[in-house]
Amino acid sequence: MKLLVLASLMIVLSCGSSDSSDQVDQTQTNIQDLEGEKDSFKPYSYHDRAFPDDNIWNRDISHDPIDPQSDVFINSLGRSGTLHADFGTIWAGQKLGMPVNVVYGNQTKVPITLTYASHSDSGPYPIPPEALVQHGQNSDGDRHLIVVDVDNGLLYEMYRAFPDGRGGWKADSGAIFDLKTNKQRPDHFTSADAAGLPIFPALVRYDEVVGKGEIRHALRVTANKTRKAYVFPATHQASNLTNLSLPPMGARLRLKKSFDISKYPASVQVILRALKKYGMFIADNGVSWQITGDHNMNWNDQELSALRSVPGSAFEVIKLPPLKYTPW
């Protein structure tokens, strides 16, 4: 099972232990340090990065050690494959990227029906009547729906979201994240993404790339095959494969320091610098090396296409936290 509006709107349990058979010593990994302070809090501003500064998404990993299995995992993803943007303007009649619906504290909440309710966050959600979904209202794909309540600093995300015809919405799964704190989802819980991770904090956003000239958080990437396991901060796996050469959900990749980015367009250099400093998490199954961003008609698709000359061999996997397994 693949469980896994700024766009044009702009207001718009495992036991947790390491499996010694398929991991080299993980005893140096300090999960408490990775999680950040549990009571960490900050006021939320939409145009800032999500979560407190000490959150794992916002941590500089440029000097982290490389995982002993890094080369094996990169081979699995495709060493000769290339990075590419799953975002931009419009291609083949479909809006590219993830639209983000921005609402305020007075937005009316509507009832939500979720297929995987036991591992999701129940409604109601503050979804506006004309909310934008991934690839447009008539799409029949993943149909991610992202809503950010800027007054309360809350993120609402759904996978395969459809209006129910009665003023509410139905979806396969849904998750609510508090963007002001480091609170994690329970182990084994999914989200709108296969790894149980939030999508919005991982987006390559136009306001960051062009407006600020800097991305200050990790990104999201898909992999053609993943293992039946996950690592922090992921909380869910979406595979029946146990091959030790496959990366787990939540594995974090980093662009090598030695990779020369000087020949790329300025906007692409912003993305590549972020991949060197913050990296990207494997968040879903799909085409390898596909990174996610917001939908914005101001993106320069030709510039973004330059990402396709960044080979998989230019990446490495940083040392994994202990593996966890979903018991089904």
| Tens digits of residue pLDDT in 196-228 | 999 999 999 999 999 999 999 999 999 999 999
How many Cα atoms are found within 13 Å in the side-chain-facing hemisphere of 145? 27
Surface-to-core class of residue 43, CB atoms within 10 Å of its CB (0-12 exposed, 13-18 middle, 19+ buried): exposed
Q: Which residues contact 99 (CB under 8 A, 6 or more apart)?
A: 5, 6, 7, 8, 9, 12, 132, 133, 134, 146, 294, 295
- Does the pLDDT at position 28 exceed 90? no
Asked whether the predicted pLDDT for residue 11 surpasses 70, the reply is no
The pLDDT score that the predictor gives to residue 49 is 87
Specify which of 92-106, 130-144, 165-179 reaches the highest per-range mean pLDDT: 165-179
What percent of the chain is modeled with pLDDT above 70? 86
Cα 56 to Cα 36: distance, rounded to the nearest angstrom: 7
- Reduce the DSSP state of residue 169 to 3 states and report it: strand
Residue range 301-306: average pLDDT?
97
User: Tell me, what's the pLDDT at 153?
Assistant: 93
pTM comes to: 0.87
**What is the tens place of the pLDDT at every residue in 244-290?**
999 999 999 999 999 999 999 999 999 999 999 999 999 999 999 99
CA distance from start to end of the chain: 12
State pLDDT tens for residues 75-115: 999 999 999 999 999 988 888 999 999 999 999 999 999 99
